[in-house]
Structures are given as structure tokens and as C-alpha cells.
Chain A
Amino acid sequence: MTNSNSPIIGIDLGTTMSAAAWFDQGTVRFIRNELDDVLTPSVVAVDPRTKNVVTGRIAKDLLASDPACGAALFKRSIGVDGASFSMGDRSFTPIELSAYILDSLRRDAERTFGEPVQRCVITVPAYFNEAQRRATLQAGQIAGLSVERIVNEPTAAAIAYGLNESPDELRFVVLDLGGGTFDVCVMEYFDGLLEVKSVAGKSQLGGEDFTRALLTLGLDKAGIPESSLSIGHFGLMLRRAELVKRQLARWPSATLNLADNDAEPLTVDISAEEASEAFQPLLSAMLEPCRTALRGNRMHADEVDDVILVGGGTRMPCVRQFAEDLFQREPKMDRDVDLVVVRGAAIQAALHAGDEALEDVVVTDVASHSLGISSSREISGRRIFDLFSPVIERNTVIPTSRSDVFATLEDNQTELSIEVYEGELRQASANRKLGEFTVKRIPKGPAGQQVSVRFTYDLSGILEVEATVLETGESVAHVFKRGREDLSDTEIERATQRMQGLKSDPRERPHYRDLLTRAHLLYQDSTGEHRARISYYLDQFESALSTSTPKTIEAAFNQLSEVCQRLDGGERW
């Protein structure tokens, strides 16, 4: 199924921007989209005119004028139960929306390579939980991609950074402030080994929050209540606030126009100082994950050799200042701060493919959340239920396999329910539940019959939980596969088909359009038999475009382009 010749591409599926790249003979090459941009905005919209689904820059432009016709920032809701975005009269899940972006990246890659691309590595915020990762995988599957691996964004950034610098030994921290997430990652580099030591983060804190804070500040200053704005107006305001945020990165003050498109300008001046004051709560919120991550590696802030800033949000001076204050050193920042993650993703993809150029490099990652089961305990005669007993602790190097022994609580207890949770809270049910299964046929006897529970967590995100009754040796295994559990294969198939149905008009595809133009030109130029042949294949292609499946379209496309090629010999004007 997979084509092993085509490279595995690395994809940064960002909150605001996405990109793809691959690793070719020691260097990372970026995949450009149809508009020749490396960055594709993570925006999906339904063109109100044609009812076609569009993505990227076009969608972003559409969204700017009519926020109701499309969706952005859906990555923030991915993996959240029941989340959906309505566009026009239709509604989409964040998974589907992500799939549209992935699909467009895949098509860009296929155009670049001239062959089908199926395998990829996708980055996610380090602090993404199981459900979010699983959802990302599903989006990949729907987009026709086989996701070989999910990589944490700061890890990817660190790969890109660490492999550039490669000193002998280095401890560094990656701060990744993306559009919608904030991740902290403590890394160590040693002799070709890049280790993620600990990760922490906040999934609802990102550059967009800063933009909103800025807008709120502007609205406050102008005395306009936020609730009075229409959705369209608010979207426009956000876009302007974004621009002001960027201006404030360079200028001491900027002007925000709060008026609607046609109305008289209503401006407020915002100084950098005011802005940074407004950002203060957000910056404070960033402090906690930083501390958590350092604690995870038993480090102090001043033991860090380097601080790397990743993600568009770190362009803000206040964020840089924050990092400098915290770590007491000037943070480093890549020139292409938006591309660091995708660059790392490409390298990770190459690592996965066993690229020779990376023979001497190995990257290890950690589990970003603890995984464990719910248990009860008897403390001084009182029973406490719903306790979370982690089996795989957070920041454990993956792939890993850990086990722990649990015991029955009642005499003659013959069944034990294993509830698997992910999270850090002491109360099991306050964490995210991944699933449960039951161990049966425990031999009757006094309380304390031992059951060993083994968690095996691999790089591709498959968690296998195996419970063994120690006395009988009988074991029950339960596999929590990402992307397979919630969504069956047929469901993915259905989603894929649904997406096919929603896909933009095939005619809109640039290379189809291009061939049509070319064939029409040739038709005009030729006579007699040639003309008849072009006409025949042009008819075929056009009818295929209007009615048929992608496969037929492709076949007709190939036939027509072959004819064109023969007639014009590849000479184009």
C-alpha cells in the first residue's frame, strides 16, 4: 500500500499555519503550495459562491470577509468531544477540518514529487493528550496519509536546532508558543543523542490569546463592549489586532481601527507598555509549565545552557523578555521561526525512514502524560476509591513497557475492572479516561490476590495494557490503538468519502485547469486528424471531470496530456 520510494514527509499541522517538508540528501526541503508559499494557513472555508470547500490562503481571505463561511484555529478543539464548526449550512468536526489541510499538503507534496505520497510524520503540541493525538491521526487517515509517527512540536524544533548546533553536550529548553498552544520542553544533547527530558505545556494558550488580549484592551479603551460586535465585525477586529500585535513587536505604539469595514475609522492608540501589561496574565500562565518542565528534569532555570524560542508567538518582544528573565540568558530564535517545527518534522521523518545521513543521530522522546489505572486503597480502615495509580509516569522515555502489581480488595473477589486513565491528577476520574476492561477468573480467596498490570506504550502511540493474574498466570490484554478505537475503518472510509464529496470542483485543480487550457490551445492550432483526436480526448476528460471518480479523471487526464505532449512535444508558451 505504501510507496517506499517516495520520501516520508514531515508535516507541521499548526494552529494558524501548516507546512510540509522532506529531508533530501542531508538538507530539508520545503514543499510549496499551489501559490508557491511554504506556509499554508490552517483555514478551511466553504466558498459561498460555488459551495466548494477551499483551504489555505484563499480560505483565509474568505474568512476575513465572512467569518461564518469558514473555520480557523480548529486545532484547538481537536480531540474535544462534540466540537464542531459550522460553515455556511454545513458542520464539520475539527478532525475533518484538519484532514482538509493535511489533504492539501499531501496534494502539494504529490505535485512536488510527481508521485503519490502516503507516508508522513505529523507534529503536535507536546502537551496534546491521547485523544488529541488520536484525533490528529484520524485526520491523517482521512486525508489518505499513513501517519508513521506523531512527533511533539518542541521535539521537532529541538531536532532542527540541536542538529544545527551540535556541540558536545548541551542542555536546553525549547519554548514553543504557537498560535494556540504553549509547550515547554527540556532537552539534552549528548554525542548524537537528542533526548527529550521533560515536557509540559498548556493547550489553551497561544499567540491568538495575545491577539485577543490586545483586542480586549483596544475595545476597553474605546469603551465598546465586546458583546456588541457582530461575528463578522469581531473577526475583522481580530485580524487588525493581529497586525497591531506585529507592529508592536517593532514600534513603541500602534493604532487599532475598531470600526467596521465601511464605517468611519474609530481608532485607539495602543502603546507597547500597555500591551505588555495586558499580556501579563498570559505571561504568568506561561511560567507554570516552564517550572513543571524544569522540575521534571530536576533542574534549575540557571542550569540551562540555551533557550530556544519556537513558534510565531515568540516573535513578541514580551515573550522574549519573559524567557530572558526566567532563564537569565538571551534566548535564541531561528530566523524562520515558523519553519523550525516543520524542518524538525522532516528530519524526524528521515530518521524514521532510516536515512543514512542521520545514522549518527538518535532522538528519544518521552510520554507527556502519565498513564495509569484507577485504584482503591484502604487507609486506616477507611477505603479511598478513585485513586489514580500511574504505571507509566510522565516524562518516561518511550517506547516503554512498565508494570505494576495490584491486588483485590475484597475476599473472594473474582473480577477486577481495569480503568485506564491519562493525566496527572490524583483523583483518577478527574483525568482523561482512555478505556476499561475487566480481568475475570481471579481465583477465589482472601483479599490481596495479585494482578500484574503491564503498560506498553510505543512510538506509534499504541498503548497496550495487559493484566495477568499472578496465581493462574492467565492474562487479559487490551490494546488502545490510536485512530482505531473511536473510529472504525469503515467510519474512516465514510469520512474520507464524505470529504471526497465535499472536495473542491476537480476543474479547480490547477493542473487540470492547466491541461484544459493547453488542450484548447492545441485544438485551435491543429487541423484534421489531430484536431479530432484532441477533441475526442478533451471530451473524455471534460466529461470525466464533471461526473466521474478521481481514478477515471486521472486516467482521462493522463490520456489527454499524452496526446498533448505528442502534439506540442512539450513545447509550451
Chain B
Amino acid sequence: MRDELPGTDDPFVLLAVERDADAKTIRRAYVRLIKKFRPETDPESFKRIQTAYESIREGALTPPSYEEDTPEPDTAVITATDPSDALTPVTRVRERLDQHGKDEALHVLRKLVDADPTDTDLWRLGDELIAPDGREAVSEWWVKALLAGAPVSKEITGTLSPTEAVLVYVHDDIAFDVLERQPPGYERQLLEWEWVQAHCVTNNQARLISTLSEESFRRTALEDPSRDALVWHGAALLAWTHPDVAAGLMQTFPPAAATHHADIDRYELHRQLAAPVSAAAQAGALSDADTRFIRYQMAGRYGEPLLRSVLADVDPHKLASLNELALNHSDAAQHFEEAVSVWMEAYTDEADKDDTGWFLALCDGLNARAEQLGLNSISSQALATAALLGVAFALSDFAAQVPMWKILLHGAGVFGLVFAALVRREKRVYASDLRPLIENHTPLGLTSGELAGWIKENEERIPELDNYIENIREDRGLHLLNQLAHLKSLVKDDRDMTERVRRHLCEQQPSLAPFLEAPTSEALTNSLSQVLGSQASACALFSKVGDEDPVALALFNQWLRTVHGIDDREYHDPGHTVRSEMVLRIKKAARRWQWHWRRLAYYGVRGALLLTLGRSLIAGHFDIAALFLCADIVLSMAHRKRRATRYARLLRLPLWSLVQSIAVSPRHIEALIKGDESVTPAHADIVAAKDDVVLQTGFLLAQIHRKRRSTTNV
């Protein structure tokens, strides 16, 4: 991120210090700036800073005016008549100090400060009394003064800058009040920004953002376009809390500027903000504030698409170029998922039971926002993420408090709906489209009434489901395999699971035999990639479904990625004309829906999985639901390849099977959309289709588990 100096000649603004800041603060600000704008690398900025610094210092060197030095002429008279009244507060404290000692003096001092918190002499005295270097000790008085209406100034904070005093040494609530008191403008923006950076996010950030006026943002944006990264970030957050303000801002903010600087910086900002959180999560030390940070991080990220949609009304050409940018920023989008997964991992170990409510609130909020703003299809990513979070939460201890299946249903349902809408409309999804879907096609019992009814109906099944989930959470590896075996036995089969896996695989895939005799992951990969990776099967798959079917496209793409591990570069290979054709179609579809095509592929598969999962739950096929839940876990693990590279090789193989098994799902989706109950697959059908998947998923998970264990042993 390249900083720029504010384009002003006001030395105080340039150095970002108060007009009455003391020499040390000014100097500190100066040093901080010239470390950024070095004489060697940025002489022009350096010169400006130097000039500003010198002009402030020269000003400071001018002798104080005559009035200030003039003593009160009639002091002596008053002293003569009434000594106690005439004493200044400071002298009174000093007198106490001399006569009764420090404690007594402090007592008096506190009283005096309470009476007049703005008397700066008292604080200096407090400084002196309590601790010559005791900033903390005195800060409460500063705060009182600040709350009493004193401006945030050097006079008050002594040797501390307002930023330090307010943001570091003072409690958050007070900081908020102080900030609120600051007039809108550059200084305030800076303080706000520093605050955000210092604290990541607290409850107060929401309050702060919600108090930002449209004017404040607009002014900053127009006056100082160099800071538009900040503005954009703020605006993104703002869009979450105050869509109307955001809309106003977007109308006045020149969109051209956005396309030039803002985007890259914005993602950089996100990255920077997320970094400490990721680190904390990896260290297993996620705090309350961190989890909230993630929430707002997300709000910011998905606020942006909202802004984009606002922009769409402003200038369609700009929208097109912004979309280009969005398509090129899949990394940034992925980053969020990484954050979620880090968080998820942390949560499976350490529950934050106090913070359970927000996920549901988030889902609701997303839905509400979607309705309110008239989402375009990019924004439906937010809904998709809600579903993702549903799964994530299902796997966390969080589920101990909120019934897991509820979340699962909710998340999967929302996602499924959006996805279905995408399939059907092939264009932007509006809230008006979503509403009938939600109302008329509620396959997952989304509305609370229906949900309640469904729960009642299926009450006796709930513990069973919870049991599955419990087991899944406990161990995603071998334990799950056992659970699946148990599940199978519940349904009809009680034979030894491992043996069945072996036999089945040997039958279905003779080339697997060597691997089964000597199970190494390499042998597995080698022997299976041949069988499963044939181009013919892919073509067959693709020919089964319509050209324009995004699910089919997505499946195909998934196949490309997982089986062949190809990437964009290979698409120009003349030997892969079939592939190129397919990929082009996926890309075309993605473009039409304004998605990044990789994301489309990913969500396509996940959508299909979750949808099937939902259907299974409704139909009461808990075993199948659990299976698809497993499949989803596997898929998301594969998707986070960078984080789980050692699984990736193993994952290639079963994914193909998974993909094949759910290739029937477009039919189901159609049925869902049409509300055609007759097409709903029977339990037996799904069992037949899932056999391979059950076996291979279990097998895979066992492999993963073994791998993990051996790694631990080493």
C-alpha cells in the first residue's frame, strides 16, 4: 500500500497533529512521517513534511503574547480579604500537600477535578503527584475533562497525543465519546482509522460507523481523493449499516477514481486487517474482538458488492469495468474463506459460548439486506457464505447451544434457493425473485413456522440427527468412518465396513488392487487417476446435461480441477479442445452471472451437495444427509487446497466419485424449482446412487486420518 500525503499546505494537517500539540508530539508525528516518506526515496514529500515541521517549530519558538504573561492585577487585594477563596485550585492542592501529605492532597485534587475537569493545571499537578510518568493514573481525569467538553488537545493530554490518550490509554467507550465530539474532518477520520486499526473491531465501531454522516464521507472523498482507499473501506462498512448513506456517497463519489486506485488498495486493507486475526487464530488465541472483527470484515467485503450494485445504477460502463476487477480479484474473495476456516478451526477447539447469536442474526441480516437492496447475483455470494458458515458452525462447539441442524438447514436452504434462482433465471437475482422462492418453494422449511412444524413432525428423529452431528464433530476421520458403518448397519447392512470398502473397490476398480495390497497415498493416486480421469467419462457426463446448465458446467470444471489439476494455462493447448470448449462455457456462464468462474464451479458443486443434503433431510434420509455432509466437508477441504495440500492428492480420487454421484442432482434441482414432488428421489434411489460415495468417502477419511496420525507420530 502506497501512502500519500494529504494535499494540504496546513502544517498541522500535514503532520496530523493538534494545533496546540507539544513539541514532543509534533516531533513524533514528524518522525513517523519521514520514516514513510524518506529523503532518499521521496524527496518531494520529505520537503513538504520538513517545511511543515519547521514552520510549526518556528511558530512555537515565538515568544508568548504579552497578555498571557500579564499577572492578574487584583490578586493581591483579594488575597488580603479572603485567603481561602482567592487560592487557585492548584495552590489549594499544594497547600494540602504541604500540610497533610500526598493522599489528602489527592483527595482534594480529585474533588477539584470533578468540579472543573477542564482545568489543565490540575492535571499537570496530578501528573506530578501521582506519578511523574504515570500516564494511566491520570488518564481518568483527562477523560473526565474530555467528557466535560474540553477539546481533545495537547493542553489536556499533556505529553500524550490525542490518539494515544484516546485510543490507547482510555477505555473504548470514552474513546468513542471523544471521537464523536471531534468535528468531522480529516483529523477525525484519521483518529477513527487509527482506532479501527488499534482495536480491530469492537462494538463501538458499529456505533461509530453508524454515526458517520453522509456529509463527512462525501467531503473527505471529494476533497482528498488520495485517501479513497480509506473512504472505500469505510464506505464498504457503511454500506452494511447505512445503505442509504452509501448510496448517496456513491452518487457523488466519482466512479472513475474507484476504478483507478481504490480497488487494489482496498483489498490490501482487507488483507492487512485480517492478518493479525489469522495469526491469532493460528496461535489459538482468538478473542472476542477478533471474532467480531471477522464479522465486520465480512460485512465490509460483502458490503462492496452492494456498493457495486448501487454503482450499477449510476453508470453501467463503470459497472462493467468494476466487474472486470471483481473477476480478477478472486484471491481476495478466497481470503475471506480462509479467514472463516481459520476461525472455524479455532472454534472447534475453543468455544466462545457467549457469541452464539450472531450467526443467525447474520443470516437474517443477509436475507433482509438482500430484499432491501435488490441484490444482483454477485451479492448472492453473501448468501452463499451464510450457507458456508452454516456448515462451519455445524462443526463447531457452537452447535452445542444452537441446534446444529437448524443452522444447517438454514444455511443450506438459503444457499440452495439462491443457487436455484441462478439456475432458473440465468441473470440477476432480485429480492422479488427470492421471495416467491422462499414462500412457495421451501424445501427445507425455511420459514420459522414451517420449520417449527417440521421439527414437531420429526421430533423423534432429532436426537438421531444430533447424534450423527455429534460424531462428525468429534472426529472427521476414522471415527466418522465407523459412524458411517454404524449408519449403514442401521439402514440394513452390518458387515464389516473396511472389508466392504476393499471388496467394493476391487470390484469396481480392478486397477486399485495393487494399492489395496500396499496402501500408500502415492499408489492410490497413481492407480486411480488413470481410471477416473478419462476424458470420455467427462464428455459422457457433460452430454447428460444441458449446455447451459451451470451445475453441469460446474461439475465438469470441478472434474477438470481435481482430476487433471489443470489451470488456465493449459486451456490453450490444442490437445485439449474438448476441455477448452467446456471451460469457455463455464466462463461464459460465470460472466453472465457476474461470478468468477472458479467460484461458480465451486459453489455449483457445493450447492448441489447441500441441496441434496436438504432433500435428504426432508425425506428423512438421515444416513444420506450425513453422507452428503461428509461429501461437503471433503469438498471444502479440497477447496482449501493451500491449507491442506497434503490431503489434496488423496482427495482427487473420491471427488470424482462424488461428482459422479451427484450428477443426477440437476434433475432434483429442477424438481425443486418446479415444486414437483413426484420427481423427488426415493430413498432407495439415492441409496443406490450413494453407495460408491459412502464407501469411498469413508475410505478417504480413513486415509486422511491415518495420514494425520502418522504425521503426528513422526
Contacts and interface: CB of A to CB of B under 8 A. Distances in A.
A190 B50 contact: no
A121 B372 CA distance: 63
B171 interface: no
B123 to A, nearest CB: 23
A317 interface: no
Interface stretch (A128-136, A267-275, A392-400, A563-571): A392-400
B534 to A, nearest CB: 48
Contact of A362 (B27, B28, B31, B47): B31
Interface string B28-42: 101100110011110
A149 B39 CA distance: 12
B43 A362 contact: no
A366 to B, nearest CB: 11
Given A193-B34, A364-B34, A399 B28 contact: no
Interface in B25-64: 27-28, 30-31, 34-35, 38-41, 43, 46-47, 50, 54
Most chain B beta-carbon contacts within 10 A, residue among A351, A362, A365, A397: A362
A190 B43 contact: no
A400 B47 CA distance: 6
A362 B38 contact: yes
A360 B43 contact: no
Contacts of A364: 34, 39, 50
A396 to B, nearest CB: 9
Contact of A190 (B27, B38, B41): B27
A368 to B, nearest CB: 16
A365 B41 CA distance: 14
B34 A399 contact: no
A360 B27 CA distance: 15
A192 B36 CA distance: 12
A191 B43 CA distance: 20
Given A351-B40, A362-B39, A192 B47 contact: no
Given A360-B35, A364-B34, A399 B41 contact: no
A399 B43 contact: yes
B34 A362 contact: yes
Interface string B5-36: 00000000000000000000001101100110
B39 A399 contact: yes
A458 B34 contact: no
Interface string A381-419: 000000000000000011111000000000000000000
A190 B35 CA distance: 12
Contact of B28 (A191, A401, A458): A191
A459 B46 CA distance: 11
Contact of A398 (B27, B35, B39, B54): B39
B5 to A, nearest CB: 15
B50 A458 contact: no
Given A190-B31, A362-B35, A458 B41 contact: no
B28 A459 contact: no
A499 to B, nearest CB: 30
A354 interface: yes
A32 to B, nearest CB: 28
Nearest to B30: A193
B31 A191 contact: yes
A352 interface: yes
Contact of B43 (A352, A354, A459): A459
B40 A352 contact: yes
Contact of B31 (A149, A193, A352, A401): A193
Contacts of A360: 35
A398 B46 CA distance: 9
Interface in A148-192: 149, 190-192
Contacts, number: 43
A147 to B, nearest CB: 14
B43 A458 contact: yes
B9 to A, nearest CB: 14
Given A191-B28, A397-B50, A354 B41 contact: yes
A458 B40 CA distance: 9
Nearest to A399: B43
Contacts of B50: 364, 397, 400
A498 to B, nearest CB: 33
Nearest to A363: B39
Contacts of A359: 35
Contacts of B35: 192-193, 359-360, 362
A78 B552 CA distance: 80
B27 A459 contact: no
A400 B43 CA distance: 8
Interface in A308-322: none
A236 B47 CA distance: 52
Nearest to A361: B35
Interface string A344-367: 000000011010000110111100
Contacts of B30: 193
Interface in A435-461: 458-459
A354 B40 CA distance: 9
A191 B38 CA distance: 15
A217 B286 CA distance: 78
Contacts of B38: 351, 362
A114 to B, nearest CB: 27
B214 to A, nearest CB: 39
A364 B31 CA distance: 11
A174 B449 CA distance: 83
Given A190-B27, A192-B31, A401 B40 contact: no
B33 to A, nearest CB: 10
Contacts of A398: 39
Interface in A492-523: none
Interface string A189-204: 0111100000000000
A400 B45 CA distance: 11
Given A351-B40, A360-B35, A362-B39, A399 B27 contact: no
A359 B28 CA distance: 16
B384 to A, nearest CB: 40
Contacts of B39: 362-365, 398-399, 459
A398 B43 CA distance: 9
Contacts of A399: 39, 43, 46-47
B238 to A, nearest CB: 33
Interface in B84-110: none
Interface string A203-239: 0000000000000000000000000000000000000
A70 B398 CA distance: 86
Interface in B292-312: none
Nearest to A191: B31
A449 B54 CA distance: 30
A546 B529 CA distance: 66
Nearest to A348: B40
Interface string B185-197: 0000000000000
A35 B30 CA distance: 46
Nearest to A360: B35
Contacts of B46: 399
A401 B45 CA distance: 12
Nearest to B54: A397
A401 B34 contact: no
B55 to A, nearest CB: 12
Contacts of A190: 27, 31
A349 to B, nearest CB: 10
B41 A401 contact: no
Nearest to A188: B27
6 contacts: A360-B35, A362-B31, A363-B39, A364-B39, A398-B39, A399-B46
Interface of B: 27-28, 30-31, 34-35, 38-41, 43, 46-47, 50, 54
Question: Which 9 pairs from chain A and chain B are nearest by CB?
Answer: A399-B43, A193-B31, A191-B31, A362-B35, A352-B40, A397-B50, A362-B34, A401-B47, A458-B43
Interface of A: 149, 190-193, 351-352, 354, 359-360, 362-365, 397-401, 458-459
Given A191-B28, A193-B35, A364-B39, 6 more contacts: A192-B31, A352-B40, A354-B41, A397-B54, A400-B47, A400-B50
